[in-house]
Structure 1
Amino acid sequence: MESNIVNRMKFRAAKSIVCFIAACLSALLVSCTSSQQIVYRPDLDSVQVLQARSSGAIVVSAHPIASHTGIRILQAGGNAADAAIGTVATLNVVEPHASGLGGGGFVLYYDAKRDSFLVIDYRERAPQNVVRSRYYQAADTLHRIRQHGATAIGTPGAPAGWQALYDRFATKPLAELLEPAVAVADSGFDLSQKQCDIIVDHLPDILPDSAISATFLADGLPPSAGHRITQAALASTLRQLGASSLTRIYSSPFAEDIATAVQARGGSLSKEDLSSYRVQIRTPLRGWYRGYEIITLPPPSIGGTALLEILKFAERLKVHSLPYLSTEYVHRLAQASRQAMKDVTTWISDPDYGEQPVQQLLSDDWIDEASEKMSQRGVPESVRPWDAQRAFKTGNTTHLVVIDSLGNLVSLTQSINDFYGAGVMAPNAGILLNNHMGDFSGDSTKKNSVMPLHRPVSNMAATIVRKDGKPVLVIGSPGGPRIASTVAQVIVAVLDGRVSLDEAIKAPRFFPV
């Protein structure tokens, strides 16, 4: 399968509008069949748009060092799962502010031999002893309890998720897959200018935690581009996990380190929460857009359902018949996104605790009914979708894609939520912990409100597109509430044949507010 993938060698801040085609923007793509040498420039502060084609295999991630890890694993005979594990572990080292062992996410995997798809749901889970009323205090108007600090930390799912991918599909020894990440954590990597900017932007999250400050600051001050970051504690953790299992993180001494760090700061995550965590293997959602099959994430992702709903609205509203990026084109797609986000944030929650009305939201009857109420032009009525005010302050997520020579596909999105997560590090393990309790609703009456052991919904939308049974596009994005809109806009532009992939990526983005 030939892939044409555009990427930008620039680390984007949370305020940036980005999307991914077969990987994230802010990524370096490396092709197995390419002889081009890619030089990592930590001082790079301008966007470079690169294209790569491969009839063999390809890896794209949010950092060139991580992408090179995946390619080396493929060149050594590994498959897509092997390369994805090595890549995501290396991302934990070189992009630690965005994802890692202390977070969670989803894998959408295509097994070419069996022509089958599955989703590994390793979304974080609320601790068993959370007190709902604590998260819905009238005085907490900014939702700080839910969104920041130890009270915002959910049980990390990443170790179990990576291990589940390894157990089902990988072929190489785990230690071999983690060794590149260990080596980079030990020897260090040089910060880019954009990473230094991110550190400055998030000093209020970094300074209160001595372990985070010691790791990412230079003698207590923001570092300059080219400053070398080493992470001895994280290297030791990855080395020990590679010698046994990634799920060893859920037992002591790692569990003790994590639970102590959280509880010392007022959180409720316990060793029992860690030891009882399990991934969920789920069936992907499937939909259609103008003859193309769209395979994406099911609940607790709301991103997948919203994506399919947007695409159905787009087809029903005949967006393909309008001039590309015309006022009416943008207007109709924006209304589709707005309605879809209202629907999923109202109705979707943890599927392990109740039926989810996905098929109703995607039914022709509902699409027809809702479409009839959308204005064809002009300013729509003022209705704000869930947390739209946060849309331009989020997006601290990472996405990667691996395609191997056998045709296996990995589309993986994961996060620790905000950059630097909850602002809490398990010091002995060197793991930054998530603040994904913030993805529960701020309204205690909503289905997605804080509940013990529930998974909060996620905007992630790792997706694979097929035509006549053959994969043609692998796509995902960061961006919080912007994800479904971003992915839909690129899919519509590319599948309708309006523009090339790189033009679709570089096109302006628009979001419902």
Structure 2
Amino acid sequence: MALSTLPARAAARIWLAGAVLPLALGAQEPAAARAPRAAVDAPKGMVVSASAIASQAGRDVLANGGNAIDAAIATGFALAVTYPTAGNIGGGGFMVVRFPDGKTTTIDFREKAPARATPEMFTDSTGAYSSRIHHNSHKSVGVPGTVAGFAHAHQKYGKVSWAKLVDPAVKLAGDGFAVPSGLAASLKGAQTRLSAYPATIAAYYKDGQPYAEGEKLVLGDLAKTLTRVRDQGRDGFYKGTTAKLIAEEMASHGGLINEADLAAYQPAERAAVKGTYRGYEIISMPPPSSGGTAMIEMLNILEGYDLKSLGHNSPQYVHYLAESMRRAFRDRALFLGDPDFTKPPLEKLMSKAYATELRSTITKDKASPSAPADVAQGYESDETTHYSVVDKDGMAVSVTYTLEAGYGLGAVVNGAGFLLNNEMGDFNGKPGLTDSTGLVGTKPNIAQPGKRMLSSMTPMILAKDGKLVAVVGSPGGRTIINTVMEVVLNLIDFQMPVQDAVNAPRLHHQWLPNVITMERNGTLPETVKALEAMGHTVRLGGNQGTAHSIFVNAKGVRQGAADPRDRDAGAIGH
């Protein structure tokens, strides 16, 4: 029987069949054991996300006439139910859009600092910097942007009614869904941390115990909040009952956000940053995301080397990548921040001339030094999520959003059922405080009222000769930028099929700490020895990112690649 004659959900299951659902948070398996057999092909539309359930919600929107914006909104709301570690309505993020005619835009729905924020807000009564206040208190919560960002995208570019896009998430939360294996493992692993918040345990645990795989999880309070969003639009979150519940949560725990902060929140639509690499167009997010700028800077440096001839992940290849990463991350900390408060020199940082200048400082067989006196990098959590969407007309949407840490602050808003972010932790800890432990005090990213904190999120779209080529992005804190760039290199320089490009072992360097981190699976001992001989310090680690990607081949087929590092992920098309 032809796929086109099958019922919609049956066809979706067949499109999904090529992918093995990947790893739980923190779990490790040999690379061969976690490699999907092939990318998932579909002739019209494709959604790839960290949750197969959420991908299905987005795919159904595409199949019923919605465009890629509509599907991205439906997927995002569904992830807020099925992927609580990072999917959210209590956080924020970024959306990059490429329309079928090649025009582009981006929507910045990054969280903002509340009106009462100050540069010294993360210090204790003695004036000393406090990591607890910075990352693990209600003062670490930024004003959420996700609902406003989705509402803005829908108002300007959506086709399907708002209610139809939110309703799948309402039903998932209210009717419940079978807990997939990755979520079951994640909630079990997070229980000790989340137990500090009774409302969180009440929402996400059964009689105080983790749900087992396959058990039904019902999120009643979250369903009520999503119903208000469905029926009232953005006002269902930023005003009325939900806003009051958020403000009460803040007031009772020493947080700073009030109803006025919520009502005042607005997303920002910004021009994409663009660059070129070997004839391909790179389209990504501008500040306050640092990802697009830093990735284009690195690609410009690497364009001067014949990477393919060096061999994928050979010592020389890794050396050149690490040295380009080192330089871009130094510039990231020195210059980048919220463009509404700072004036980052983007044109210079993304210029070919500047890349040539930086490349001249790289020695072929010797690692460069890094020092706190230059600049250090602050904390940024790995727990983000990315999803990619392409519709039948070729509109592409790349979305990365987050709560910051896994499950954000860990606190569910009492009565509202959703988790709060701890994104204020992405601001620098204290003006002038920079040291080798990773604290950074440079001015562009100091907390101020209404300011958006710097991010590494790198939603990206690749095009060539006016045609869509790929949609890529990843979670992973500061590793995001390098993960996305390495997928791009795998596609362009090594012409890997998209699933191979996603599966391939990854590496990371971020100026400080002065270490190359490489995924243990797939890294050869002789490679480590050769890099150490050049003066590099190499650390073998676990999984780096989950780059849920879409590639459009020469025949126009959408090839969805769910990253095998993420157990519950799914690529679903029609």
Q: Judging changes above 3 Å, is the alpha-carbon distance between structure 1 residues 139 and 227 closer, same or farther for their aligned structure 2 residues?
A: farther
Match of 2:225 among 222, 234, 237: 237
Q: TM-score, normalised by structure 1?
A: 0.88
User: For residues 228 and 295 of structure 1, do their structure 2 counterparts lie closer, same or farther at Cα, with a shift above 3 Å needed?
Assistant: same
Match of 2:149 among 158, 161, 174: 161
The Cα of 1:98 is off from its aligned counterpart by 0.8
For 2:497, the equivalent position in structure 1 comes to 500
User: What residue ranges of structure 1 are gaps of 5+ in the alignment?
Assistant: 18-44
Q: What CA RMSD, in Å, does the superposition of the two structures yield over aligned residues?
A: 2.3
Corresponding residue number in structure 2 for 1:279: 267
Structure 2 partner of 1:424: 411
Q: Is the 2:293–2:346 Cα contact (8 Å) retained in structure 1?
A: yes
* Corresponding residue number in structure 2 for 1:106: 94
Query: CA offsets, 1:147-191, max 9 Å, x none?
Result: 122011000000100101110111112111111111111121222
Task: Work out whether 1:449 is the aligned partner of 2:446.
Answer: yes
Alignment of 1:217-296 (within 5 A): 217-296=205-284
Q: Closer, same or farther in 2 for the Cα pair 1:288/1:484, shift >3 Å? A: same
1:122 aligns with one of 109, 112, 116: 109
Q: 2:310 matched to which residue of 1? A: 322
Distance 1:389 1:15, change over 3 A: farther
The answer for the alignment partner of 1:415 in structure 2 is 402
Which residue of 2 is the match for residue 131 of structure 1? 118
Instruction: Return the letter of the residue paired with 1:9.
Output: L
Q: Which amino acid aligns with 1:482?
A: T
Matches within 5 A, 1:321-400: 321-383=309-371, 394-400=381-387
Q: Greater CA deviation, 474-483 or 375-384? A: 375-384
Shift, 1:479, TM fit: 0.5
Matched to 1:226, the amino acid is: G
Q: Counterpart of 1:333 in 2: which secondary structure?
A: helix
Within 5 Å, which residues of 2 pair with 1:51-90?
51-90=39-78
Query: Are the counterparts in 1 of residues 148 and 266 from structure 2 also a CA contact under 8 Å?
Result: yes
1:134-149 map, 5 Å: 134-137=121-124, 143-149=131-137
Is residue 195 of structure 2 the alignment partner of residue 207 of structure 1? yes
Aligned to 2:567: none
Offset of residue 141 of structure 1: 5.8
SS of the residue 1:108 aligns to: strand
Indicate which of 491, 494, 497 corresponds to 2:488.
Answer: 491
Code of the aligned partner of 1:67: S
Verify the 8 A CA contact 1:99 1:415 in the aligned structure 2: yes
Cα distance in 1, alignment partners of residues 53 and 355 from structure 2: 44
8 Å CA contact 1:9–1:47 kept in 2: the answer is: no
Q: Quick check: 2:211–2:217 contact (8 Å CA) kept in 1?
A: no
How many residues were matched structurally? 480
Alpha-carbon displacement from aligned partner over 1:32-68 (angstroms, at most 9, x marks no partner) = xxxxxxxxxxxxx966454212221111111111111
The correspondence for 1:10, drawn from 22, 25, 28, is 22
User: Which digits, 9 at most, give the CA deviation of each residue in 1:316-371, with x for residues without a partner?
Assistant: 24434422211000110111112111111211011011211111112233212221
- Please give the residue correspondences for 1:180-191 in structure 2 after superposition, counting only pairs within 5 Å: 180-191=168-179
Equivalent in the alignment of 1:94: 82
Q: Distance in 2 between matches of 1:453 and 1:248?
A: 21
Contact 1:11 1:195 in 2 (8 A): no
Is 1:118–1:282's contact at 8 Å kept on the other side of the alignment? yes
Change beyond 3 A, Cα 1:49–1:435:
farther
Output the CA distance in 2 between the equivalents of 1:346 and 1:496. 30
Q: 1:247 to 1:458 in 2, by over 3 A?
A: farther
Give the conservation status (yes or no) of the 8 Å contact 2:379–2:425.
no
**Shift, 1:13, TM fit:** 1.6
* Corresponding residue of 1:472: 469
1:245-282 per-residue CA deviation (whole Å, 9 max, x = no partner) reads 13431112111101111221111111111000001010
Distance (Å, rounded) in 2 between the aligned partners of 1:276 and 1:241: 17
1:287 alignment partner, SS class = strand
TM-score by length of 2: 0.79
Q: Is the 8 A contact 2:88 2:146 kept in 1?
A: yes
Aligned-partner SS, 2:300: helix
Task: Name the % identity.
Answer: 32
The range that moved more, 137-146 or 367-376, is 137-146
**Contact 1:341/1:386 (CA < 8 Å) preserved in 2?**
no
Distance change in 2, residues 1:143/1:359 (3 Å): same
User: What CA deviation, in whole Å up to 9, does each residue of 1:292-318 have, x standing for no partner?
Assistant: 010100000001111111111111244
